[in-house]
Amino acid sequence: MRLKFTKIILMLVVAGMISACGNKTEKSPDKMVRTGIQRIMTEDNQFNFSGSYQTEFIIQNNEDKNSSEITEPIIASEASASEEYDDDTSELTEYHRKQMDLYNKSIGQFLGQFGKSFSVPFTGAVDMKKGVMEVIPEVRYEDKNVLISFKFPTYLDFNNLSLYLDGSAITHLSDTMPDNKMVIGDKYMQFAVPQDKAQHIPVADLLKSLPKSVDDGYASIDPSAFKKVNVDEFGKTLEAKYQVNLNTDYASSLKYNTVLLQSLSKTLKETAAKADKNNKYKPEDYALLGNIIDALASIYSDSDNALADTPMGAYLEQLKNKSNLMANNFYFDSKGRIIGVRFKTDLPMAITGMEEPKGTIRIDYKVRMDYTGSPKFTMQPTPQNSINIGARLGW
């Protein structure tokens, strides 16, 4: 009897586990993404990551068939200059147009080849429980008989609002330049917010507010934009169990940024209202940070575009008027954790300020996460092995 009872208990436990797993995978695609991102920020926030950033230049080919036949410029003789001025002007204009077509074609070929050979692979680590993260981007150009590579390890410490950079890829030469007044040597370069200002920035409260604000941002996107799809080739390299695709336009992306920042501002104001006299930060500290966030939010949401006369404002205004889609792909393991992300989009070259040649910049960004529970860091900055650049320059 006891044996039968034990079997019944085991069956119920197994059934419960199967049911729990079923509930996890039955979540709607938008909830899968939102839950996965929250886990990255609150639970599984200690991990290593790796990935790459690549660009491809797709040039629009509108060249004239006869443009390659151009040899010498057309020059009118002095005798006929006054009589055939209009004809010569027309011929010169046509010549210059064809020369410009050839120039644009050569620029397009250069950019096309450059894009095939250029990439930015990277690795890194995140330990939000300790308030630190690291990213090591490698600027790389590789082709037949050539390899150029620069690595710039970067370490961000939220506890003291400092960024540490290992610039030895450049400083090993710049240190030897004549009249160099700041030799870096083997030390890291530290860029820190001055302590008299850092002590008035409620970073801890900002980080606590971030998960909810990010979720509010994703909640502003139409749930139907999230689609569960078959795992693609990149997902298979991750051994992903599920894949969710999110296609958004730039207007939706700007709205996401606006909602996220507005949510952050609101939460900080609520935190300030609840703070008592023993709180580390004063109301004016929260107000200052809130004003900065409100200013950023207004940039994305301002229909009048107050920054229209600036490069950033003009760029954002162009984004609002573009219908190009941004493809975001999220890859999940069997536990519902996001183990990889891929972002792809096409940007008109004109949006970067390049009117010619006409074409598209295709961006492909991939990253994978490895949840080790004990992320490995390459950099270990300390006051002894770092140089505070700001202090040296009198900032």
User: Which tokens go with 63?
Assistant: 């060249």
CA dist 165 and 64 (Å) reads 49
User: Which tokens go with 221?
Assistant: 């996107």
Count the residues in the chain.
395
Cis ω for the linkage preceding 357 (within 30 of 0) = yes
**pLDDT reported for residue 133:** 97
User: Which tokens go with 193?
Assistant: 């917010």
**pLDDT reported for residue 306:** 61
Cβ–Cβ under 8 Å, residues 184 and 155:
no
CA dist 141 and 69 (Å) reads 34
Reference 325, options 340, 339, 341, 345; nearest CA is 345
**pLDDT reported for residue 320:** 66
Reference 380, options 151, 48, 157, 171; nearest CA is 157
Residues of the chain short of pLDDT 50, as ranges, are 1-10, 12-25, 63-85
Cβ–Cβ under 8 Å, residues 340 and 234:
yes
**pLDDT reported for residue 338:** 97
Using DSSP, state whether 113 is helix, strand or coil.
helix
Partners of 217 in beta bridges: none
**pLDDT reported for residue 75:** 36
DSSP assignment, residue 181? S
| Alpha helices, H only, 76-202 | 78-81, 85-117, 168-174, 195-198
Tell me the per-residue pLDDT of 68-102, one tens digit each, with 9 for 90 and over. Answer: 333 343 333 344 444 444 556 676 687 777 777 77
Element housing 299 (H / E): helix 283-301
**pLDDT reported for residue 48:** 97
CA dist 386 and 189 (Å) reads 6
**pLDDT reported for residue 167:** 94
